Amino acid sequence: MKNINFTLGMGTFRRQDKVAYDSVKMALEEGYRHIDTAQIYGNEAEVGQAIADSGIPRDELFITTKVWFEAFSEDKFVESVKESLSKLKIDYVDLLLIHWPSPQDEVDMTLYLNELKKTKKMGLAREIGISNFTIALTQQALDILGEGELFTNQIEVHPYLQNDKLVDYCQANGIQVTGYMPFAYGKVLANETLKSIAEKNQISTAQLVIQWLAQRDIITIPSSTKRKNLRSNFEQVSVKLSDADMNYIAELDCNDRQANPDFSPKWDL
């Protein structure tokens, strides 16, 4: 694994065209080295151009993309990854994920996970993982690939959806957790409990959420189009949240899921 900080990355979900380019360029200028995108986001080319224009050496970057389920078949999977790499203007991604499990198991998991593993053997991806997999689906993936193959499970995690059971399961099985949508589209940043804890610790509410995730050993990929927010989110805070603070935040969990499309698996409760 590269000796760079990939525990806090820059997410690009819903960022399009020049907005995607500008936000990634700013993030890299502010010190981010982990950039997360996906085939379905439709912004890999803009993300790739921003990376290329940054002039940052490839070995100092950690780039993630995700394969959409329409490319899960044996004749499409590897070609879709090569297309992503072409758009990103790179020879490999540091992390390649299955974006969502196949809806209603239309494509057998053994097939598409073996295609995922193949991309690693081919050198197209350094690490492989999954996203939006439940406990049962993660166990199925482990049974197929074996221990040590899955780098991460990227799932929604924020104070309103803490996903404790799934987080604990993954971490107990040697799978790192990457939490996306840490601010729940900004909803949690307006929470009065979080605001008061942040004020007491002399940090922003966003920094509080990022620190809360860090203390749970969760990688996170917040997104912003504003330089001041990118800078503030990336700033290293010299604060360790107390057990009392962590417990107050734990009480905010209300299963308020933001990403719940009609093809979602049956979520863990």
Q: Is 154 exposed, middle or buried (0-12, 13-18, 19+ CB in 10 A)?
A: buried
Residue 61 lies in a domain: yes
Residue 166 lies in a domain: yes
Residue 125 lies in a domain: yes
User: Per the residue annotation, which of 32, 41, 112, 169 is the catalytic one?
Assistant: 41
Mean pLDDT computed over every residue of the chain: 96
- Strand partners for 46: none
pTM of the model as a whole: 0.97
Whether 2 has a pLDDT exceeding 70, the answer reads no
Query: pLDDT value at position 133?
Result: 98
Whether 12 has a pLDDT exceeding 80, the answer reads yes
Residues 85/45, Cβ–Cβ less than 8 Å = no
Is residue 99 a known part of a binding site?
Answer: yes
Q: What is the rounded average pLDDT of the residues 144-172?
A: 98
Whether 68 has a pLDDT exceeding 80, the answer reads yes
Q: Which of 46, 41, 51 is nearest to 90 (CA)?
A: 51
Whether 260 has a pLDDT exceeding 90, the answer reads yes
Q: What is the pLDDT of residues 42-54, one digit of tens each?
A: 999 999 999 999 9
Residues 230/188, Cβ–Cβ less than 8 Å = no
Q: What is the pLDDT of residues 171-181, one digit of tens each?
A: 999 999 999 99
CATH label of the domain that carries residue 29? 3.20.20.100
What is the residue range of 129's domain?
Answer: 10-184+217-224
Query: pLDDT value at position 92?
Result: 98
Residue 127 lies in a domain: yes
Q: In angstroms, what CA-CA distances link 255 with 162, 170, 182, 195, 268?
A: 8, 19, 14, 20, 10
Residue 156 lies in a domain: yes
For the question of residue 41 being annotated catalytic, the response is yes
Residue 258 lies in a domain: no
**Residue 144 in tokens:** 């197929």
How many domains are there within the chain?
A: 1
Residue 155 lies in a domain: yes
Whether 161 has a pLDDT exceeding 90, the answer reads yes
User: Which amino acid, one-letter code, is at 84?
Assistant: S
Whether 248 has a pLDDT exceeding 90, the answer reads yes
Q: What is the rounded average pLDDT of the residues 104-128?
A: 98
Helix (H, G, I), strand (E, B) or coil at 266: coil
Q: What is the rounded average pLDDT of the residues 230-250?
A: 94
Q: What is the rounded average pLDDT of the residues 140-158?
A: 97
Residue 212 lies in a domain: no
Query: pLDDT value at position 237?
Result: 82
